[in-house]
Amino acid sequence: MEPCKSPVTTDEYWDFIIPHNNYTPEMLYSLVESSCVDIVNRQYAIAYLPRSQNGELSLANYSYASIPKLYTLLDTSALEASGISSVFSQPALRNGGEGVLLGFIDTGIDYQSPLFRTPDGRTRILGIWDQTLPTDGIGSTFENLSFSSSLSDTSFLYGRQFTEEEINAALFSGSPSQLVPTTDENGHGTFLAGVAAGNESADGTFSGAAPACRIGVVKLKQAKTYLRDFYLIREGAEAYQENDLMMGLKYLLLLASAYRLPLVVLISLGTSQGSHEGTSPLGKMLNQMAEFSGVIPVLAAGNEAASGRHFRGSVLKDEEYEDVEIRVADQERGFVLELWGRDPELYTVGFLSPTGERVERIPLTFRDDNRIRFLLEQTVITVNYQNAEAGSGSQLIFMRFESPTAGIWRIRVYNSLYISGEYHMWLPPHSFISENTIFLRPDPDTTITDPANAPLPITVGAYDHTGGGIYLNSGRGFSRSGKIKPELVAPGVDVYGPGLSPRPCMPRMVYRSGTSVSAAITAGAAASLVSWGLESGQPELTGTAAVKSYLVRGAKRNPTISYPSKEWGYGQLDLYQTFLRMRE
């Protein structure tokens, strides 16, 4: 097999997520007829196939799960509200996450900031994998990492790693950026790392939730153009590929294994695509990780509750169809719309355009693309029926609107196999399309973004710790299958943390809101809890199930609210009360 002829990060290659059953590299090369493959774990691999050898990108030619989904960012009084400051005041509990690796998969980190350095100036960061930089050599970037038997492959075909030693050498040199040329141009990753793991500032006005932990960082590259075009997301949108997140998880697992540290991993990205049951390849990988002792995934619930981009439908038994109305904004490039039926029901769709052109009910077909061109408009709609989507078993109707005419579109939904008549529809997240493209009768529930619907990881919503109310945009539960999500809420409105610095070593503090912030605070709290468990001889506290259970028990609950709640989960994070509950 020939090696990759050019960097796999270019649009010359298309990325596909390939399920396998503990195949060897040679077996995977034979399966995809290429050696241009990254192995994620025993269950998944990423194949990079030359664009010239591929047919049209569509669900008729490729499975829904194999095409990477696109994820978007989910944008110290907060520590007091979360009971973390109270823990700091207790000498027996003040471990700050020592002995734990807190991993971030985001936009990178300002590694020169004093918030991520020890008092003697050395870094607390054990490793940074920057996916945007060219690798030093295929398969050689990570040779210095030891690994466990569950991750027998350490090769990565793209990106560049910077080790703790390299970062320290850069920090004590006269030109850090030349030796370690990784930056955070966005600031999102630096803010979350600061909130979760930053040191106490020199003036005492700021501290992260786990200031003594070690840090691992993955800087995600932006999504490729061909996927942006396939999903028709707006120009300039921050978008990241599912397979890059999966490879980021692999890197953090390798890093934790090399240093023999328990890992708390934070993912503050999400998508409205998928079953909303955590059955995507990324969701399944996170679920699998959450079963490992010493790995605790913490996920943001998303900010889609008030965006108007979820519709819960119901076709009654004596009704032929239900009309779903979508208002499409002017100059909308396009969008994808997904309908997910409740098992084992089947649905079909038709359309009525803003100009009155009607497309009758499209019959059920198996895996074929139904491409509809409107006579009086420039709009093209492609409809694909996945009658039993592989990950969930549910029916998926995938609809792709190219150059949709502005105005009110009606999707006519017919029930072809009635059980309850319930179905869900999701538009893309607000950052991918115009803010004015919405359902006219939206439902704010079932708006937690994937992968945060995965059952086992800890999912966190956001509330306003100054006013006491829920954050309006915080994703609401439950999952489509009824799993309790989110489990907790934490402060996520106007939280204080580090922004991009005007010059090295001079942090500039800013305020941010969103469930990404609340999840970062919770990840820091989880790291402190795991650290205390290790110190006190309670190794069961290195498992996701135990950490989740203890945090839920200690959560603050309002007697006027019925729990578990779609907005509040089991209550508000309170780490100090978690420790008090242990004493009881």
Which domains does the chain possess? 13-55 (no CATH), 73-305+450-583 (3.40.50.200), 310-439 (2.60.120.1290)
Mean pLDDT of 83-102: 73
Q: Residue 370: beta bridge partners?
A: 383
* pLDDT at 147 > cutoff 60: no
Least confident span in 179-183, 434-438, 507-511:
507-511
Q: Is the pLDDT of residue 499 over 90?
A: no
- Res. 103: pLDDT tops 70: yes
pLDDT value of residue 500: 83
Q: Give the pLDDT of residue 362.
A: 94
Does the pLDDT of residue 156 top 50, yes or no?
A: yes
Among the residue ranges 73-82, 309-318, 477-486, the one predicted with the least confidence is 73-82
**Mean pLDDT in residue range 524-537:** 91
**HEC-encoded secondary structure of 409-423:** EEEEEEEEECCCCEE
531, 556 Cβ separation under 8 angstroms:
no
Q: What is the pLDDT of residue 584?
A: 66
Helices 515-535, 575-583: axis angle to 10 degrees equals 30
Edge-to-edge strands, sheet with 380-386: 310-314, 422-426, 334-341, 396-402, 380-386, 369-373
Across the range 273-283, mean pLDDT stands at 96
- Number of alpha carbons in the 13 Å side-chain half-sphere of residue 372: 23
Residue 501 has a pLDDT of 76
Mean pLDDT for 274-295 is 95
Sheet with 44-50, strands from edge to edge, namely 13-19, 44-50, 37-39
Q: What is the mean pLDDT of the chain?
A: 90
Which of 116-120, 131-135, 265-269, 497-501 shows the lowest mean pLDDT across its residues? 497-501
Our measurement of the distance from residue 476's CA atom to the centroid of its chain's CA atoms, rounded to an integer in Å, reads 16
User: Average pLDDT in the 104-114 region?
Assistant: 96
Q: Of 149-153, 196-200, 440-444, where does mean pLDDT reach its minimum?
A: 149-153
pLDDT at residue 534 tops 60: yes
pLDDT tops 80 at residue 154: no
Confidence of residue 548 (pLDDT cuts 50, 70, 90): very high
Residues 6+ apart with CB under 8 A from 25: 35, 37, 39, 153
Q: Taking the model in full, what pTM does it have?
A: 0.94
Residue 55 is predicted with a pLDDT of 82
Quote the pLDDT of residue 6.
Answer: 78
State yes or no: pLDDT of 359 exceeds 70: yes
